[in-house]
């Protein structure tokens, strides 16, 4: 009986982990799609709009990954801080979004390849 409960608990934990993984993946995937749409929108080429998207992306990554792996959010925050410090390298807000999207696509790949 105890053995059965232990396996059942392990199954529930695995299901929960898979749910959190799916939530993280779906949240970041939707964020990437939103960012691509923003870059393709010819009416949205205002620095303030792009800067708002970057703030929005930080919050979405935090919310969608907090139960799966909070390190994803922390690493994204570090990435954003480094991106803001590198004014000479990426001097436009659109360029910053492109860098963010590339980073987030790599995160999606990592999430997709983990259990």
Mean pLDDT of 22-32: 96
DSSP assignment of 4-56 equals HHHHHHHHHHHHHHHHHHHHHHHHHHHHHHHHHHHHH-GGG--HHHHHHHHHH
Tens-digit pLDDT profile for residues 68-95: 999 999 999 999 999 888 765 666 788 8
Mean pLDDT of 59-64: 95
pLDDT at 88: 56
pLDDT at 46: 76
pLDDT at 87: 60
Confidence check: pLDDT of 96 > 90: no
| pLDDT > 90: percent of the chain | 57
């Amino acid at each position: 009986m105890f053995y059965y409960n232990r396996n059942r608990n392990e199954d529930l934990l695995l299901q929960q982990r898979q749910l959190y993984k799916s939530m993280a993946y779906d949240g970041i995937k939707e964020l990437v799609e939103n960012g691509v749409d923003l870059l393709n929108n010819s009416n949205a080429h205002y620095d303030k709009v792009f800067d708002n998207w970057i703030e929005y992306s930080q919050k979405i990554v935090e919310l969608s990954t907090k139960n799966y792996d909070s390190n994803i959010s922390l690493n994204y925050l570090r990435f954003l801080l480094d991106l803001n410090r590198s004014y000479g390298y990426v001097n436009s807000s659109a360029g910053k979004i492109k860098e963010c999207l590339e980073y987030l696509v790599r995160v999606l790949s990592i999430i997709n390849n983990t259990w």
